[in-house]
Structures are given as structure tokens and as C-alpha cells.
A and B are shown apart, each in its own frame.
Chain A
Amino acid sequence: MNTSITWRLALAGAICSVVLPATAQADWPSQPVRVFVGFPAGSSPDVLARIVTEALSERLGQPVVIENRPGAGGVIGIQQMLVSAGDGHTFGTTINGPMTTAQRMMDDTGFNVAEDIAPVTLLATSPLVLAVASASGIEDLESFIAAAGAEVDALTYGSVGQGSGAHLTAELFAAEAGVSMLHIPFTSYAEVTTSIIGGEINAGFMAPSAAMSFVEAGTMNVLGITSSEPFGQAPDVPLIAGNAGLSDDFRAELWNGFIAPAGTDEAIIARLSAEITEILSDPEVQERMLGMGWQVAPGTADDMADRIAADTEMWGAVIDRIEAQ
């Protein structure tokens, strides 16, 4: 082939990739796309990923394969994504933990969020609700804070583990409300709810979906929700923000996001981010996610990077306080 034509083609390609990022990658994806999920098949991060990748595979015209690599709160999935990185067809989804707090909680996660991970877009967020047994007679946030403030560690609360979102949220809440509660770690929300209903512990922050069926059955009361706006799955639950003397900007949410290994072509990331945003605007997708307790939260890669930075700082301060105790 004529060298000058090749050269011109290459130049044209280079210009296109600057001017028209989406079309420059016309040959992408050229092989099946792999998405690593750090949780087992059937878990809520896995199902979220499946809802998205199902639609994504139609749009990309290539199969999108979920690779479940569960372990260490999602950290293993990211490690495995990084091991297979480099072909431009390897991605992952993650919850907030490995992106924000894992570096503080674990000896060594084996990766550095800023250097190794390229955010693509947030997928969805989930607030937590504060729940107590209805037998306790506590029906609103004010009487809960009064009961908790009676003395140090007057009340116990359950979480899904040391350093989990439920634990850190409770500590953030306690600090803002000026109370101190005794932390009892469990491994799942189901265990926490069982223990609350059995009267063994007093309270717990948990996913709305874990609590609402017990509220319906009349065995549990939810006192407040940690989102900044009323939440679709539990619209009647009052916000914690601005309630019972807490500040108006109180907000604590778990989130789920789509990520790529650092070094992935910017154009590919922009394309994925745009495709996923469109997928998430489908009302049917929104409804399915809401049914599982997740509110879609599409955005750009920069939005996700900002969220990572803000949450890392906020939870970092909470962890500092826990460690100081």
C-alpha cells in the first residue's frame, strides 16, 4: 500500500479522534466486552450490572459478559479487572466502598483509586433508613436521639460489618446528633433486622428494601432516611436532614458505578458513559432498579470522580473519629 495514503489515513484518524471521539472508535468493540463484578451472581450489585449490561450488549453489538469475582467487599473484583486490563474491552462495576473507604480499612487493597481506576459513570444510589423495633415504642427521630443521649452507649446498633456503609453512616449520624451508641457488627442486613425484632439490639441503619417489609408487618419502625430528597421506594419516610436538630445537608448514600482500568481510551469511556446514561433514562430500567432499592444516578465520568473525592473525604473524617476513640 502507498505509504503516503496510509500516513494520511492515520492523520485523518488522529484528527477524527480529537474532533469526533465517538466515531473515531468505530471499530470498538471488536470483541466481547468483559465486566468484572466484585460480588456473587444474584447479589444486588450483580443484578444492577446485569440490567445495564443486557441493554449495553444490544447497543454495542457485542456480547457483554459479566465476570463475578466476589470477595473482600468488592476489592477482589477490581483487582481481577486490573489483572486483565489492557485490551480495551475490560471494565467493571463497583460499590462505593472499594473506591472510597477500602484504602483506609484494609492493609493493602493492591490498587490506587486515583492512579489505577478511570471512572465511567455512576449507575445508581441507595440511601439507608434508621430502623428500630416497633416494640421499643420509639416512633420518631427526636425520641430516638433522646433515648440514645441518656448515657454513653445507652443504645446498641447493628451494621453489616466494621467499616461498612451502615457502620460509618451510624457513626456520622451519632456525631451529628451528639450521641454515642454501641456498635454491634453483623454480616448481613437480614441478621441485623432479625436481631432488632428479637429485641437483642436497639437499632440499625439499613437498605430501605431490607426494612420496609417488616414495617409493613408492623414489627419495625423506620425513623428517617439518609438521602437529600424523599426516596421513591419509601416515599413516606421523613428525611434525617433538617430533622430533630440535624443539619440540612446531612446526606449519606451508597452508590454503584461503572469503572474502567486507568489508561482506557478517553473516547471509549465517553461513549460508554453516554450509552449507559441513555440506558438509565429508560423508565422500565428505572423501575426495576427502584424495586431493588436503587435510584438511577447517571452522569459523566467527571461527576463520578467528584463523588469519589467528596465521599472519600467525608468518610475519611468519620473513620478518623472512630479510630480516635
Chain B
Amino acid sequence: MNTWDSLLLGLSFALQPHVLVYCILGVLLGSFVGVLPGIGAMAAISLLLPLTFYMSPEAALIMLAGVYYGAQYGGAVASILLRLPGTPQSAVTTLDGYPMTQQGRGGIALFTAMVSSFSGSLIGIVVLVMLAGWLSGLATRFGAADYAMMMIFGLVAASTIGASRPAKGFAMITLGVLLGCIGTDVNSGAQRFTFGHAELLDGLNLVALAMGLFGVAEVIANIRNPERQSIAARIPLRSLLPTRDDLRRLPLPILRGGTLGSFFGALPGTGSTLSAFLAYATERRLARQPERFGKGAVEGVAGPEAGNNAASITAFTPTLTLGIPGDPIMALMLGALIIHGVQPGPMMLEARPEMFWGLVASFGIGNLLLILINLPLIGIWIAMLRIPFNYLYPAIIVFLCLGVYSVRGLAFDIVLVAGIGLAGYLMTLAKLSPALLLLGFVLGPLIETNLRRALLIARGDPMVFLERPISAGFVLASMVLLLVPLWKIWRRKRAAADF
């Protein structure tokens, strides 16, 4: 079957009325619950799961997938307007999205996020359609050594994000990795830093970490901040529309972010997070005035949003063809398939082409719906900022606590948020970037297990990292990233000495 036939098959499947209804239901629900920070897709999908018992597996998958990517549109709202990211990838969106809100350009940031999400998804779909076979095999070509070095490269590339000095960036990443050590060690089964709390055996709750570092810290810092109280006064109506200058800046970051995301999404586990951070780092490095970043640069919203949405589309290939879920939400969707006796695996594309291509077609339809629904809603979300902060922040506190609770129903996690919030507020005072901490927290455990696994398989020979071509490539790229700034400093000093 060629690409064109596959697409037609998919479209004819996805456009059946009952499938279309489920797709619409999914994206609508997704984009509304996505606005609730931390809760988003997870709670909505758990809620819908029993319903899917009575649906065809194809329709169930299309609806749940709709919730999944729909929630990413909604998630941008909380990140940009309130600095409440529920995931590490939306933490990247806050870096420039929230400063834009503070400058009264929140509408433009939302517009940028929506358009970039939509375009990023389209790029993801195109890549998926053209390269489905290649993408599904990509994960088997990556060994433990390759994963370890790829993620180290990711950390090195991202280390300068949002930090005023390199030492601060590295410190935050290291702290994140250290926090990631909490819980059961995969390799030895040892229980590290759990101090007798079984609730910590699976590690710190990521949503609790994100909510404490961003949400709680932001609320504390702003309660008596007169600037925040007057934010509403600074939103003229026309700021909802981007200027020509804003629009001119969008296409290239979207294209780069989408391409990066499409590739990393096909590698299970960290696709969305890594793509968002790398897209941001790329834009900052390529920018003529990198100092604009972190202070409201539209490219800083566009690249990462395109990247993580493209990644969440291509991430369905390893999920469906290898059965590897990229995150807990994907795992939930896999569960929904297995309830119906559909076992994801390498035969998926051949055995159930209508499911695979129907899903791909539904991505297109769903994203089109999402942008049509969400663009007009920007005005309403912005109106939320007109609510005096005194009335808004107690609601933020209640909602973020429930968001944390919804992950696994443990009050323990909410108590943790208080401690993490304290740390987050202190970090705000010392101008330390919580986004990098989250990146280290997410990638750290993966780096550790893959590094140790690679050495174990190689019977302790560290040359394994240079012998495998993919791993060696990432080692080289990381060295270049680390050495180029040093070389620039050296050259500047020599130039100064020549005078």
C-alpha cells in the first residue's frame, strides 16, 4: 500500500460520522481540561476509560488521542498566563510566554502558541506519513549507550537556558538529577533518599515538583507585588493580535522546532521534553540578539510549542509498533487498546492499517478543530487576567493542589508541594531557573540507568560510548558545544592581547 492509499484509507475511516464525533469530543474535552494545570489529560482520560469499554478500539484510540494532544493546547494557557506548567515541556513555554503576559502581550503569546502547536503537529503528521516505517524502527537502533549520550547532549545543549551564568544553569541541572535519584534504583533495587516513605519509592511526583517550583513560588512572589495587581490595565484590546514583526519571526522557529520534535518524538520516553528544550536552545543560539530570550521573545514560544506537538504526534509510532509508551498518558491509551484485545506491536501497521492511518488522519482533523476552537477563545482566557489577583491566586492554590492529588490520589504529594514551594520561592530570589531543574529531574534517571546499563552490557568497557556511531556522534556534538564558548573567550583574549 502506498502512502497516498494509506492516507485515503485513514481519512475515509476518520471521517465516518461516529468516529468524527468521538474525535471532536476528545479534542474539546482535552483543550478544556488542559487548562487545569497538572490535571489535564491524565484525569480526563481516566474518566473516559470506562466509557471506551463500549466503543470500537479505533474510535476509543482516536478519542483518547484527541484528549492527549488537545490538552497541550489548553496547557499553554495556564503556562503562559499564570506560569503554571504541568509538564516540563510547558515549563519551556513559560520562559518567554509568561514575560510576554507581564508585558501585556499575553494574547500574542497565546496566538503564537496555538499557531505553532498547529503547525508543529502538521509537520509531525507529514513526517509520520512519509517515514512511518523508518520511524518505527528507529528505537531499535538506539542502544543504552546511545540514549545516555543523547540525553547528556540534551542537558549540555540546554544548560544555558534561562540562566544568567553558566554555573547557575549547571547547578540547577545537577540539583534536578540529584532529586531524580530519589526512589528505587532501577539497577540495584536500592531505595535511595526515601527515608522510610513508601510514597517516595517511585520518585518525587513530577507534577508536585512543577507546581511547587512554578505555581506556588509565583503566587508567593506576587501577592504584594503592585505590578502584578495592575497587569489587567496593561492589556489593550489590539494586543490580542500579533504585529507584522511578530508574524515575520514565526515561520523558521516553527519549522526548526517541528523538525526536531518529529525526530525526537520517535524515540520513546523523553521525546516531547527533549524537543521543547532543544528547540528553545536552538532558537537562542541562532538568534541575532540572544539576550531577548527569557524576556518575551516570540521565537521562544514558537519553537518549543512546535517541537513538543510534533513530538507528541510522532511518539505514537513507538507506542503503537513497539508498545513503548512515552509517558503515563500514552500508557493509559495503550491500556485502552489492550482492554479491547488489541496488542500493540510490529504487526500493527499491517494488521490494522485502518486503525493506524485512521489515527493519523484524525490528528489532522483534530488539530484543525483545535485551532478553530481555540483562537476565538484567546479573548476569554485573556479576560481571566482582569480578575484581580487577590481573587485569582487562592483559586490557583486550590486548583494546583487538586492537580497534584489527581495524579495518584495521595495527600502526601500535596504536603510535598509546600516544601517544594519554599525551595521554589528561594530559587526565585536567587534567580535560579526551575525549568532546568525539571529537565535534569526528567533526564537524570534515564541518563543514570542507560549509562549503567551500557557499561553492564559492555562488561565495564567505557569505550562502548565511542564505538557505537550514534553515541560517538552525540559525544562529539556535546564536546563541540562545551568547547566553542571556551574557544571564543580564548580568541577574544588573544585579540585583546594583540592590541
Question: How far is A247 from B132 in the complex, measured between Cα atoms in Å?
Answer: 46
A163 at interface (Cβ–Cβ under 8 A)?
yes
Closest-by-CB residue of A relative to B145 is: A200
A198-B141, A217-B346 given; A288·B189 CB < 8 A: no
Interchain nearest-CB distance for A52 vs B (Å): 13
Contact B335 A213 (CB under 8 A): no
Interchain nearest-CB distance for B234 vs A (Å): 43
Contact B334 A110 (CB under 8 A): no
A24 at interface (Cβ–Cβ under 8 A)?
no
Which residues from A are CB-within-8-Å of B226?
none
A237 at interface (Cβ–Cβ under 8 A)?
no
B345 at interface (Cβ–Cβ under 8 A)?
yes
Contact A40 B332 (CB under 8 A): yes
Contact B324 A197 (CB under 8 A): no
Closest-by-CB residue of B relative to A43 is: B335
Tell me the chain B residues, 299-342 only, with Cβ under 8 Å from chain A: 322-325, 328, 331-336, 338-339, 341
Residue interface bits B156-198, CB-to-A below 8 A is 1, else 0: 0000000000000000000000000000111111010010101
A68 at interface (Cβ–Cβ under 8 A)?
yes
Residue interface bits A63-74, CB-to-B below 8 A is 1, else 0: 000011111110
B347 at interface (Cβ–Cβ under 8 A)?
yes
Please pick, from B198, B335, B457, the residue contacting A156 in the complex, using a CB distance under 8 A: B457
Q: Which of A13-21, A188-196, A310-318 contacts B (4 or more CB under 8 A)?
A: A188-196
Tell me the chain A residues, 190-210 only, with Cβ under 8 Å from chain B: 190-191, 193-195, 197-198, 200-201, 209-210
Contact A194 B324 (CB under 8 A): yes
B109 at interface (Cβ–Cβ under 8 A)?
no
Interchain nearest-CB distance for A188 vs B (Å): 7
Contact A76 B410 (CB under 8 A): yes
Which residues from A are CB-within-8-Å of B488?
none
Please pick, from B188, B335, B336, B408, the residue contacting A162 in the complex, using a CB distance under 8 A: B188
In the complex, how many residues of chain A place their beta carbon closer than 8 angstroms to a beta carbon of chain B? 58
Contact B202 A42 (CB under 8 A): no
Closest-by-CB residue of A relative to B410 is: A69
Residue interface bits A224-250, CB-to-B below 8 A is 1, else 0: 000000000000000000000000000
A216 at interface (Cβ–Cβ under 8 A)?
yes
A130 at interface (Cβ–Cβ under 8 A)?
no
B251 at interface (Cβ–Cβ under 8 A)?
no
Tell me the chain A residues, 262-305 only, with Cβ under 8 Å from chain B: 288, 291-292
Contact B409 A69 (CB under 8 A): yes
Question: How far is A106 from B324 in the complex, measured between Cα atoms in Å?
Answer: 27
Interchain nearest-CB distance for A163 vs B (Å): 5
Which residues from B are CB-within-8-Å of A109?
198
A41-B335, A200-B144, A210-B323 given; A107·B186 CB < 8 A: no
Question: How far is A147 from B459 in the complex, measured between Cα atoms in Å?
Answer: 18
Residue interface bits B413-436, CB-to-A below 8 A is 1, else 0: 000000000000000000000000
B478 at interface (Cβ–Cβ under 8 A)?
no
Which residues from B are CB-within-8-Å of A54?
53
Interchain nearest-CB distance for B244 vs A (Å): 47
Contact B338 A47 (CB under 8 A): yes
Residue interface bits B199-213, CB-to-A below 8 A is 1, else 0: 101100000000000
Question: How far is A179 from B147 in the complex, measured between Cα atoms in Å?
Answer: 30
Which residues from A are CB-within-8-Å of B53?
50, 54
Closest-by-CB residue of B relative to A292 is: B338
Interchain nearest-CB distance for A75 vs B (Å): 6
Question: How far is A210 from B456 in the complex, measured between Cα atoms in Å?
Answer: 24
B451 at interface (Cβ–Cβ under 8 A)?
no
Contact B408 A69 (CB under 8 A): yes
Contact B46 A68 (CB under 8 A): yes
Question: How far is A76 from B333 in the complex, measured between Cα atoms in Å?
Answer: 23
A68-B408, A71-B199, A72-B198 given; A194·B331 CB < 8 A: no
Contact A188 B343 (CB under 8 A): no
A161-B186, A198-B143 given; A108·B196 CB < 8 A: yes
Which residues from B are CB-within-8-Å of A145?
none
Question: How far is A44 from B344 in the complex, measured between Cα atoms in Å?
Answer: 14
Contact A71 B201 (CB under 8 A): yes
Output the residue of A110, A185, A193 with the most chain B CB within 10 A.
A185
Closest-by-CB residue of A relative to B141 is: A198
Interchain nearest-CB distance for A320 vs B (Å): 15
Which residues from A are CB-within-8-Å of B348?
213
Contact A213 B189 (CB under 8 A): no
A162-B189, A214-B346, A217-B347 given; A190·B323 CB < 8 A: yes
Question: How far is A186 from B325 in the complex, measured between Cα atoms in Å?
Answer: 14
Question: How far is A206 from B201 in the complex, measured between Cα atoms in Å?
Answer: 23
Please pick, from B189, B331, B409, the residue contacting A42 in the complex, using a CB distance under 8 A: B331
Residue interface bits B128-157, CB-to-A below 8 A is 1, else 0: 000000000001111110000000000000
Contact A216 B186 (CB under 8 A): no
Please pick, from B139, B338, B339, the residue contacting A194 in the complex, using a CB distance under 8 A: B139
Question: How far is A194 from B186 in the complex, measured between Cα atoms in Å?
Answer: 18
A71-B201, A210-B323 given; A184·B347 CB < 8 A: no
Which residues from A are CB-within-8-Å of B268?
190
Question: How far is A221 from B198 in the complex, measured between Cα atoms in Å?
Answer: 38
Contact B198 A42 (CB under 8 A): no
Closest-by-CB residue of A relative to B345 is: A213
Contact A184 B456 (CB under 8 A): yes
Interchain nearest-CB distance for A162 vs B (Å): 3
Question: How far is A203 from B449 in the complex, measured between Cα atoms in Å?
Answer: 19
Residue interface bits A137-175, CB-to-B below 8 A is 1, else 0: 000000000000000010010000111000000000000
B453 at interface (Cβ–Cβ under 8 A)?
yes
Tell me the chain A residues, 38-95 only, with Cβ under 8 Å from chain B: 40-44, 46-47, 50, 54, 67-73, 75-76, 79-80
Which residues from A are CB-within-8-Å of B334?
42
Contact A213 B201 (CB under 8 A): no
Which residues from B are CB-within-8-Å of A182?
456
Question: How far is A20 from B345 in the complex, measured between Cα atoms in Å?
Answer: 51
Output the residue of B185, B186, B344, B453 with the most chain A CB within 10 A.
B453
B388 at interface (Cβ–Cβ under 8 A)?
no
Contact B457 A162 (CB under 8 A): no
Which residues from A are CB-within-8-Å of B144?
195, 200
Output the residue of A47, A184, A190 with the most chain B CB within 10 A.
A190
Interchain nearest-CB distance for A204 vs B (Å): 13
Nearest first, the 6 A-B pairs at minimum CB distance are A42-B335, A213-B345, A162-B189, A291-B341, A72-B201, A217-B346
16 contacts between A and B (CB under 8 A): A44-B338, A47-B339, A69-B408, A71-B198, A72-B184, A107-B191, A184-B457, A185-B449, A189-B323, A190-B323, A193-B323, A194-B324, A213-B344, A213-B345, A216-B345, A219-B346
Instruction: Using A43-B335, A185-B187, A213-B344 as known contacts, list a sample of 12 further A-B pairs with CB atoms less than 8 Å apart, ordered by residue number in A.
Output: A41-B49, A42-B338, A42-B339, A68-B409, A75-B201, A105-B189, A185-B449, A189-B323, A198-B140, A200-B143, A213-B345, A214-B345
